[in-house]
């Protein structure tokens, strides 16, 4: 067994140095791998699950295959309709404008395409370098990374005469009813304190 008396100052300094190196490496990695909530793509790429997955990875968000398929299908369905947002701004404001619209909608990330050049991938860095008087018109698709169905379990502990106990336990299942993350479902459980079952509706947003 290792005790404090057996640990030398040299060993302690080495251990501290390792901890500091790991922490520094983690923060450096985070600095150079910041989430990118906005991804420029071609219209064709944005309409595919692979295109949505690329944008999700850039935003550091994991999505199920069913979510990727659903988002791609929704973008494809908007091909001949107005997208979530039509960005009309000047070059140096393009990224800021897109991000404001994304946050306003509550979306997890956004994909932008060029309606005049649907085959060309949008490069926001290149757009920002254009002359200040150049008009910028882009389509913005806001993507919400919500599951279709969510499950929940709740345990309510209590305390009685020197011992802990479970007063109530519930479970719920809800289905998404809107693209911005509103859910409706049912909840059921048992109240041990009053010895009765419970059932009700659940709404979350």
Task: With CA atoms as reference, report the closest residue to 52 among 80, 75, 85, 82.
Answer: 75
- Assigned token pair, 167: 């007063």
72 Cβ contact partners less than 8 Å away, ≥ 6 residues apart? 46, 47, 48, 49, 51, 52
pLDDT above 50: residue 178? yes
List the Cα angle 173/61/94 in 5-degree steps: 125
Task: With CA atoms as reference, report the closest residue to 170 among 148, 199, 150.
Answer: 199
> What is the pLDDT, as a whole number, of residue 23?
67
pLDDT-derived band of residue 177, with 50, 70 and 90 as boundaries? confident
- CA atoms of 47 and 203, how far apart (whole Å): 31
Global confidence as pTM: 0.66
pLDDT in tens, 95-126: 999 999 999 988 899 999 999 999 999 999 99
pLDDT above 80: residue 19? no
The average pLDDT across 180-193 equals: 86
> What is the pLDDT, as a whole number, of residue 1?
42
pLDDT-derived band of residue 29, with 50, 70 and 90 as boundaries? low
> What is the pLDDT, as a whole number, of residue 3?
45
- Assigned token pair, 158: 């209590």
């Amino acid at each position: 067994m290792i005790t404090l008396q057996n640990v030398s100052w040299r060993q302690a300094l080495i251990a501290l140095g390792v901890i500091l190196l790991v922490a520094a490496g983690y923060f450096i990695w985070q600095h150079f791998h910041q989430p990118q909530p906005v991804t420029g793509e071609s219209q064709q790429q944005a309409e595919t699950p692979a295109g949505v997955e690329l944008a999700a990875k850039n935003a550091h968000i994991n999505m199920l295959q069913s979510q990727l398929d659903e988002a791609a299908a929704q973008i494809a369905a908007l091909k001949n309709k107005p997208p979530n947002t039509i960005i009309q701004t000047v070059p140096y404001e393009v990224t800021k404008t897109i991000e404001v619209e994304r946050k306003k909608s509550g979306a997890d990330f956004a994909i932008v395409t060029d309606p005049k050049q649907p085959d060309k991938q949008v490069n926001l860095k290149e757009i920002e370098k254009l002359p200040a008087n150049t008009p910028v018109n882009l389509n913005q698709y806001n993507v919400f990374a919500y599951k279709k169905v969510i499950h929940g379990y709740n345990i309510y502990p209590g305390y009685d005469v020197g011992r802990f106990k479970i007063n109530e336990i519930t479970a719920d299942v809800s289905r998404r009813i809107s693209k911005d993350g509103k859910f409706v479902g049912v909840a059921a459980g048992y109240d041990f304190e009053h010895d009765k079952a419970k059932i009700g509706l659940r709404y979350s947003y």
